[in-house]
Amino acid sequence: MKKHSLIIASLAVTLAACKPNISPKAPTSGSADFSRFMVVGDSYAAGFSDGSLYKSAQEHSLAVMLADQFKLVAPNSTFKQPLVPGESGLPHPKNVLAMVTDCLGITSLMPAPDTKWDTTGNHDNITAQEPFNNMATPGMRIGDFYTTDYITILNALKPGELPYAARFYHDYHYSPLQQMLYTRDNIKPTFFVFWLGFYDVFLYAQSGGTGSPNPPGGAPALTDITPADTFAARYDAIVGNMVANGAKGVLINIPDILDMPYFTTVPVKDDQGNYFLMNDKTSVRKMTDDDMLLLEMPIDSLKCYGYGTSTPIPDRWSLSSTGGAQSEIGYIRSAITQYNIAIAKTAAKYGLALVDINSYLKTMETGVIFNGVTYTPQFVQGGTFSLDGLHFTQRGYALIANQVINSINKQYSSTLSQVDVNKYPGIYFP
- For the chain, list the domains and their CATH numbers: 26-81+120-263+331-423 (3.40.50.1110)
For 212-364, list the strands marked E by DSSP: 248-252, 277-280, 283-286, 292-293, 318-319, 353-355
User: Where would I find the H helices in 308-393?
Assistant: 328-350, 357-363
Give the per-residue pLDDT at 26.
Answer: 86
Per DSSP, 364 falls in state G
Contact call for residues 332 and 204 (beta carbons, < 8 A): yes
C-alpha of 132 from chain center = 20
CB atoms within 10 A of CB 423: 11
Output the CA torsion sign for 398, 399, 403, 406.
positive
Classified as helix, coil or strand, 421 is helix
CA–CA distances in Å: residue 9 to residues 2, 3, 73, 416: 11, 10, 42, 40
**Rounded CA gap, 187 and 141, in Å?**
23
Per DSSP, 133 falls in state S
Contact call for residues 257 and 336 (beta carbons, < 8 A): yes
pLDDT under 50: residue ranges of the chain:
1-23
Contact call for residues 62 and 404 (beta carbons, < 8 A): yes
Per DSSP, 324 falls in state G
Give the per-residue pLDDT at 325.
Answer: 92
**Rounded CA gap, 335 and 228, in Å?**
7
Nearest CA to 144 out of 211, 199, 181 is that of: 199
Give the per-residue pLDDT at 14.
Answer: 38
Q: Which long-range contacts (CB under 8 A, 24 or more apart) does 158-162 make?
A: 158/91, 161/91, 162/91, 162/122, 162/123
**Stated pTM of the model:** 0.92
